[in-house]
Structure 1
Amino acid sequence: MTPPVMRALLAEDDALLADALSANLQSAGFEVEVATNGAVAEYLLTRQPFDVGIIDLGLPLVDGLSVIQRVRAAQQTLPLLILTALDGLENRVAGLNAGADDYLTKPFDFPELEARIRAVLRRTHGPGGTTASASMAAAMTVGQLQFDRDTRRATVAGQPVDLSPREWLLLDLLLTQRRKVITKEQIAQAWSTEVSESGGPSSLEVYIHRLRRKLEGSGVGIRTVRGLGYLLESQD
């Protein structure tokens, strides 16, 4: 039987190092996604299923330590490994306290990185554990809302909800991070990289209004957090 493919997110802004590590990880049997800044790394790690995150601390836009703290708050069991040139004791302590499972300083040899990755994977998944793509629930239920990624189907109290591509991505993002405020920038990034909806309204507020109406009776609401973004919450 072919072993399951593990998905790795590599957050590294050095293009040459990222290319070399990505190639080595792929040769070792990993499926690799590269993020060149902290904002993209956080977005991907909190929205898509990965088996491990490999994160440089000196990332642009959002530093690696902040990425780890935010991802750990959203994904309690996701293995996170720091890869950095910062080798001071205070840096190692800060990284591990932020939620990292391991800390490797540059320069390093790839066999050691691979061994450390597989060690944290064993601790998380066990010797025969499933991959993130296999173990992450495709279907979610919140209140009377049921949302299934595999079938791209959403229902409220058993009744199908017709969602446009942008509404679907918006609801997916809100559900995936339903304990966090989603910023307008995160929503815009999701739309710009994954969907083109010609002929539709351009205003985010219009989509939020439409989605709120479609979620009526679900026991789930979208709260506007002034100056920050939007938050999905259960309604008593």
Structure 2
Amino acid sequence: MTTSLLDRVPVVPVVVVEDLAHAVPLARALARGGLPVVELTLRTPVALDAVRAIAEEVPEVLIGAGTIVEPKQAALAVEAGAGFLVSPGSTPPLLDAMNETGVPFLPGVATVSEVLAAYERGLTELKFFPAEAAGGAAYLKSIGGPLPQVRFCPTGGITPASAPDYLALPNVGCVGGSWLTPAAALAAADWDAIEDLARAASLLGAQQ
């Protein structure tokens, strides 16, 4: 039985790689810390190469591509080795393109109407973005009333302090966290610090 994307780790690291040389040691540090699922955002010129490097050299990590904002990016990301896709929002062409790849994907939603549009397509696992700005844990708790069959990975503005509030909700499987790869640690190639942050994050789900 395949484990849902939402049930693999309590926190999915959301990372931006500016330096291709950082990709592999970063992924290894996150895995050592207990987070072997990584969303690498397609926001930099080296992002696809970074996905490819991690897929080839760190097989213990399930590497996904985030910030899918154009339909063509879906196929490019999967060709590079992405095992899942994440988009910040949803449009029919974008949903079609991600679905056609055959890999799991989390389309972004921020309103009840967007959740319903995805649900009408048979999609029940979604990204809630931008989580804090769009209403936070209280908003997702409210959505859980009429739509208990839909589950979320909220991302955007979440911190180690607020993550447990989301993870306590029955319709939240995991959260996306950008705090795991602080700029200073990346600049210093301080993989031990990132491993420590990952280890602390990996325990958040056990607190529920």
Q: What range is the shorter-chain TM-score in? A: 0.3 to 0.5
Q: TM-score, normalised by structure 2?
A: 0.36
Higher strand share: 1
Larger radius of gyration: 1
- Between 1 and 2, higher relative CO (CA 8 Å, sep ≥ 6) is seen in 2
